[in-house]
Amino acid sequence: MKLNKLGESELHVSEIGLGTMTWGEQNSERDAHLQLDFALAHGINFIDTAEMYPVPPSAHTYARTETYLGSWLARQKRDQLVIASKVAGPGRRDWVRGGRTELTRANIAEALNDSLARLKTDYLDLYQIHWPARNVPMFGVTRYDPSKETPAVPIVEQSGTMAWLIQAGKIRHYGLSNETTWGVCEFVRVARAHGLPPPLTVQNAYSLVNRMFDGELAEASFRERVPLLAYSPLAMGMLTGKFVAGAKPPRARLTQYADFGERYKREQVRAAADEYCRLAQSRGLSPAEMALAFVRTRWFVASSLVGATDLAQLKQNIDSVKVELDAATLEGIDAIHSRYPSPAA
């Protein structure tokens, strides 16, 4: 497994990282540990989680994923792993920390200390803001609506808190997630202006059916040296072939959870995914291999985060690193993208 240098840091992460959002909902603690052992044996050193996981989130399962990871992490050589987690942003779930979700210093510190206790570690390599504190279009919403503006913790306060946690030795770096071009640039600008560490990474959705990062965010990534950690590279399973022709596999998350992943259930997403699956098969590839190999070819991607509900899926995802897409396949991908430009954005 190839290791990529993470931005301007000393960290090197596997080109495929292990996502964890199914652990505690669709996967048991034993399942999680089997996945972790398998991933580690196959060269993965980067593991990403969040206090909000598992997903879909609920008060009953809140933070269970970190607990499952922590019981495994306690038995590992910590310095050989890169562990990332996230602090939940404001709103969305009142049961997160009793509703204390504004990104103040006190709330971020409380969230981090709780995560460290669950993860059974003294520090995180990367601590990410799960979504912005301010009003932004995200999770499938594409239009900014100024009428939804509300007071938010200033970016300088959030950055200062992260600097304080770095100085305390509790985190090595911090990152952003579900962030906009303006947000990435503003975090970097504020850091420079106030002598604070800048964000190391941005973790956004990126796949064949969501290539919004290709434009302004890619420019910001390049100029500010903030690489992408790509989540949902298989578009919640839409790019694996199991949903072709309107199929609804019973164990799939998009089937099990009616109100989850709405952006991936759009008609245009299904049409585009079907075309990508047909292209992959015509090139002698599985749809998942092609989808993951494509994300890996993007110059701004430091690591693709893959999740699985069983070891067979995880093996196929990891094996995709052996696939190199030829010019004809890339041309076919571009042709489909021209007809269906980022339908899951």
Question: Looking at the domain assignment, is residue 199 inside a domain?
Answer: yes
Question: Looking at the domain assignment, is residue 48 inside a domain?
Answer: yes
What φ, ψ does residue 147 adopt, rounded to 5°?
A: -70, -15
What φ, ψ does residue 322 adopt, rounded to 5°?
A: -85, -10
CATH number of the domain within which 191 lies: 3.20.20.100
Question: Looking at the domain assignment, is residue 337 inside a domain?
Answer: no
Mark whether 231 is an active-site residue: no
Question: Looking at the domain assignment, is residue 132 inside a domain?
Answer: yes
Q: Does residue 251 carry a pLDDT above 80?
A: no
Question: Looking at the domain assignment, is residue 31 inside a domain?
Answer: yes
- Put residue 42 in one of left, alpha, beta given phi > 0 → left and psi -120 to 50 → alpha: alpha
Instruction: Look at strands 3-5 and 126-129 and give their pairing.
Output: unpaired
Question: Looking at the domain assignment, is residue 243 inside a domain?
Answer: no
Question: Looking at the domain assignment, is residue 256 inside a domain?
Answer: no
Kindly name the residue from 53, 174, 206, 231 that is annotated as catalytic. 53
- Report pLDDT for 257: 76
Say which residue the tokens 């699956």 belong to.
Answer: 277
What pTM was estimated for this model as a whole?
A: 0.96
Confidence of residue 145 (pLDDT cuts 50, 70, 90): very high
Residue 119, domain extent: 3-237+298-309+318-323
Which of 74, 98, 101 lies closest to 90 in space, CA to CA?
A: 101
Per-residue pLDDT tens digits for 284-326: 999 999 999 999 999 999 999 999 999 999 999 999 999 999 9
Farthest-apart Cα atoms in the chain, separation: 54
Per-residue pLDDT tens digits for 104-140: 999 999 999 999 999 999 999 999 999 999 999 988 8
Looking at the 3D structure of the chain, how many domains does it have?
1
Which of 202, 203, 201, 281 lies closest to 239 in space, CA to CA?
A: 281
Question: Looking at the domain assignment, is residue 18 inside a domain?
Answer: yes
- Report pLDDT for 253: 74
